[in-house]
Structure 1
Amino acid sequence: MEKKDSNLTFHREVKGAVKKFWVQILPEDQKKKAVEIFRKYFVRDEPMCKSINLIDDKESLDYYMKFLWCAINQNSSLACFIELDDGQEEMVAVNVCYRNTAYKEIMEMPGFRDIPEGMNNIFEILKYIITQKEIPKELEVAEYLTSIGLIVIPEYRGLNIGLQVLSARKMLCEKMGLKVSVTTFTAPESQRLAEKAGYKDLVSLTYDDLQKMKPSSIFPDINKYAKRVRHMYILYE
């Protein structure tokens, strides 16, 4: 694994013992592990994925994993690790990030034009939300950092690890020459963390309103998992 950045190290108490954690750009040799974490936990827990049971929709799941792999290979994702008692390291969180222009590049690659129905429902909602505000006009930037998901594995939730990962985007933006990070946060937990990290709303809509505006995108029982979706930004001075 590549050398970690000590400036992004923090400590948390885990099962009565203080453990060292750190956030860094996702190393090459950990990319497959990051995809496994998303397949196992993000697809199971994210509200829209959960609503349409994406985990059992093989066609949509395979498409999403393929998109995720291309996004990760933009080499701008973040990962959080813990140092274990035996000196080994374990990945505990992943945030798949990329420059906003990469989305179009990925979608123009062979194999991405035909989107399965389940995945298309999610993409259509995300695209609708994003187009409600013209980011270049609102924030005076042509390019910015964006993301397709942040996940903390269950054993390490409740420790504000997601907040540390979101805060590390400042470092990532500096490395990429960007001054803005923009993300659509779909779950109440991630929305609270985004607020703590200093993110502000560009667009905030209830899922009920979204389904009225986009009746073709159906998310059964979505209100069991989340009430609102928020497109949020932070400007790094």
Structure 2
Amino acid sequence: MSQTPRVWRKFTVKSKDGELKLRIQDMPSDRLNDFIDICMKYFIPQETCNKTAGIYKSEEALAESREFVTRMINDIAKSPHNLLICCLDDDPEVVGEIIGASITKVDKKDDPERNLNFTTKTKEVGASFAIISKLISRYNALKDHKLDIFLNDRGVVVNPKYRGLGLAQMFFNVRRQICHDIGIPLTGAWMTAAGSQKAAARDGWETAYEMTYEDFGKETGIVFENVPPICKYMTGKPLQM
């Protein structure tokens, strides 16, 4: 990410601690470790697939997850606008505390199929990849919409202290702006949690595919606990600007 990070959105929210000035921008290259840290602290332990696999219970699995996340982010960072942060905006010249992160990747029709069936060191990481692989096999937006290019999700996370302020919805909205600006006809994501489903719906995303966690559990042999009734794949069209 050698080019100057782009600021996509500046906005103000009201929290219980008062008014907060925030911005969403491309991740600066010198904040890579902070980006990885927020993914490891909140996304890996709390995202439904990873949580169900029990990664947060094992130090070995957490260490393996960090290796995977670091490789993924370093690879994705080679292309612009794939890694976004939400940070405090008290000083426009300073990237403040990172309180949220979004990861996307531009997929193309002729790209090799994403394959998560590789050898892992820990059973927990293997279980997480198995769940994600099952999700991926359920729905393919590129094929279903007959697209040549697509902005695909790799995760979104918000520090729990700042949840309920609309930050996930803002990330989803910025993804749609990216689609508009660089000419991608659609973006999409598996919404495995109720919060992400509601945030995407508020931003105008549509449900392209859905299934009950009960049915998904029967297919995978996994008991999903503390999940919404439905797991959804949702898509968002480019902003009209």
Same fold (TM over 0.5): yes
Q: Is the 8 A contact 1:71 1:97 kept in 2?
A: no
Match of 2:160 among 144, 154, 158: 154
Deviations 1:125-163 (A, max 9, x none): 323233333423421213311222211102211111111
Identity %: 21
Q: Which sections of structure 1, spanning at least 5 residues, go unmatched?
A: none
Alignment of 1:64-213 (within 5 A): 64-73=65-74, 74-75=76-77, 76-84=82-90, 89-100=96-107, 113-115=118-120, 116-174=122-180, 176-213=182-219
In structure 1, give the amino acid aligned to 2:9.
L
Matched, 1:233 2:238: no
Q: How far did 1:49 drift?
A: 2.3
SS at match of 1:224: coil
SS at match of 1:79: strand
Q: Is the 8 A contact 2:52 2:128 kept in 1?
A: no
Q: Is the 8 A contact 1:71 1:96 kept in 2?
A: no
d(CA) in 2 for partners of 1:93 and 1:185?
17
Q: Which sections of structure 2, spanning at least 5 residues, go unmatched?
A: none
**Alignment RMSD (CA, Å):** 3.0
Q: How far did 1:164 drift?
A: 0.7
- Corresponding residue of 1:60: 61
Q: Is the 8 A contact 1:4 1:22 kept in 2?
A: no
In structure 1, give the amino acid aligned to 2:225.
N
SS at match of 1:150: strand
d(CA) in 2 for partners of 1:11 and 1:20?
5
Deviations 1:58-113 (A, max 9, x none): 443333323322332312111111124898511110012112369959869xxx93
TM-score by length of 2: 0.81
TM-score by length of 1: 0.82
